[in-house]
Structure 1
Amino acid sequence: MRFNPAFPRFHIPLCLLAIAACGGSSAKDEGPNNPPRAGILSLPSGWNTIEPGGETTCARGDPFEYLVRPGTVNRLIVEFRGGGACWSAATCSPGDDIFQETVGDDPLTTGIYDHDNPDNPFRDWHHVYIPYCTGDIHWGDNVATYGEGSSAVNVRHKGAVNVRAALDWVYANVPAPEKIFVTGCSAGAYGSILWSAHLREHYKNASVVQFADSGAGVITDAFFNDSLPSWKPEGAYPMWIPGLDPAELVNLYVLYEKIGAHYPDMRLSQYNTVHDEDQIFFFSAMGGGGAEAWSEAMRASVDHIEASTPNFSAYLAAGSAHCILWRPEFYTLESGGARLVRWLDALVNGEPPPSVACDDCGSP
């Protein structure tokens, strides 16, 4: 997916949006019966591009920006874009196309972005869309050098810096949302689980639901020990949670367990296909096995979270497609007798649904 260049572009100081905090107003028709519209409601309808500047950056030094779409209800989506990852000279060299290295122009018109579809549980919600261009699953805070000599390449793994800039804007401009849906596809799935804890800690009175779209966290020990440290993600970990040991995060289920136990009112979830081609590709690139090895490890990880975390639900679909949030099939996909969009609606707005899995998952 790529951003639509027709989106309005703004470089808006935080103060001008959080009008109440500035002690002023920019509302054209302000009056006793029409109070000023502050924060996110002061934005034009549709998608707005915000350029935070400061220390934010993409992997090669290109500027970072994020999108905000005001809604009509006091509910908020915080979404993290996907787009691969890089951790070595081979994966981080320019032109390798293994990760999204600039902010693109995504159309944001289908799937969860179809705001005219009456089946969309989120059609009226505020939506903050955080792009991804740092190769570090939204966790990093480092400038790493890969390779040597004339072939050396520097990568700005500043995903956590970019996220904090976007969340600072959210905190200032959406002061008390009733509900928050924290989600993301692929690399954004890992952003969703990590940063959901930060959002829950900040918005203590909000109902927070997390949904990881196609990010099961199946990695190799070698990747965790030798490659992930180049991102320096430690500063993003929710270390206020008792018992959270970064050394144990080679198993992503630990993050789900610790967040779920610390915030039992949260709802945590994952969506995967049984032979997700992209997740299998990256597992193999890390030195792991093939499709069956990844699928077996994915199922074992999900089973582990289900057994230890009562506020977790999983949705497993047949096939090998990667990510569902942006696809038109978001509204038609069924697995285990449950239609995904209805299952997700229950997760967010009703009683927590049980986990579901494909009856005949098939082979890769």
Structure 2
Amino acid sequence: MLFTGAVDLQADWHSHDHFPSWIPALADMQPNEWTMAKHYIAVANYYPTYTFAQFNSIRDRVQVFYTYPNGGGDADDWSALLDAHLAEIETNAPNYRAFTPGGTLHCVTPRDAFYDNAINDIRFRDWVADLASGKPVDSLHCDDCTTAELQ
């Protein structure tokens, strides 16, 4: 979930009480400083021998709706927010990878899209298989982001 700025998850949901206390960057983070990118960075840097990865469609219709529930933004705004979020994580966590295809899909795993989605002829299924087998993979981002590349 992306937010348009730092969020205080503690006030309403007491989320900080349940962050991993053994990860100093999370334990020291003040509630009004929290962003999803900072969370990924803290966890990935604490576990540098692990690879962390994420799938997001560049115009994910569900995330757009929840980021801008009152219509204060659209898919173009959300795409720019996502790109900035991914760039921040990748700059600060060398063990992080992202697969960002075009289109509006939300939740790839329970769908055929897990097998059909591709970027530059690399299917998501194959990208995940390489990750799982310990092969190095690059982050991939759609070129023509208006629709998903399907194979």
Q: TM-score range by the shorter chain?
A: 0.7 to 0.9
- Paired with 1:277 and 1:290, the residues of 2 have a C-alpha distance of 9
CA offsets per residue over residues 33-81 of structure 1, 9 Å max, x none? xxxxxxxxxxxxxxxxxxxxxxxxxxxxxxxxxxxxxxxxxxxxxxxxx
Q: How far is 1:235 from its partner?
A: 2.1
CA contact (8 A) 1:220 1:288 kept: no
- Paired with 1:246 and 1:337, the residues of 2 have a C-alpha distance of 42
Structure 1 residues not aligned, in runs of 5+: 1-216
* Count of residue pairs brought into register by the alignment: 144
- Which residue does the alignment assign to 2:14? 232
Q: How far is 1:336 from its partner?
A: 2.6
Structure 2 residues not aligned, in runs of 5+: none
Relative to its length, the structure with more strand (as a share) is 1
Work out which of the two has the higher radius of gyration on C-alpha atoms and give 1 or 2.
Answer: 1
CA contact (8 A) 1:220 1:286 kept: no
CA offsets per residue over residues 148-201 of structure 1, 9 Å max, x none? xxxxxxxxxxxxxxxxxxxxxxxxxxxxxxxxxxxxxxxxxxxxxxxxxxxxxx
Counterpart of 2:48, as a letter, is P
Please say if 1:297 is aligned against 2:78.
Answer: no
Relative to its length, the structure with more helix (as a share) is 2
CA contact (8 A) 2:10 2:16 kept: no
Residues 1-364 of structure 1 aligned to structure 2 (within 5 Å)? 217-221=1-5, 224-225=7-8, 229-244=11-26, 245-247=29-31, 248-249=33-34, 251-285=35-69, 288-362=72-146
Q: How far is 1:239 from its partner?
A: 2.1
- Paired with 1:283 and 1:354, the residues of 2 have a C-alpha distance of 27
Q: How far is 1:253 from its partner?
A: 0.8
- Paired with 2:102 and 2:142, the residues of 1 have a C-alpha distance of 6
With normalisation by structure 1, the TM-score equals 0.37
CA contact (8 A) 1:270 1:315 kept: yes
- Paired with 1:273 and 1:349, the residues of 2 have a C-alpha distance of 24
- Paired with 1:229 and 1:287, the residues of 2 have a C-alpha distance of 25
Q: CA RMSD in A?
A: 2.0
CA offsets per residue over residues 4-54 of structure 1, 9 Å max, x none? xxxxxxxxxxxxxxxxxxxxxxxxxxxxxxxxxxxxxxxxxxxxxxxxxxx
Quick one: higher RCO (CA 8 Å, sep 6+), 1 or 2?
2
Q: Point out 4+ residue stretches in structure 1 off by more than 2 angstroms.
A: none
**Identity over aligned pairs, percent:** 31
CA offsets per residue over residues 284-341 of structure 1, 9 Å max, x none? 1177522111110111000111111111000001111111000012112111331100
3-state SS of 2:56 partner: strand
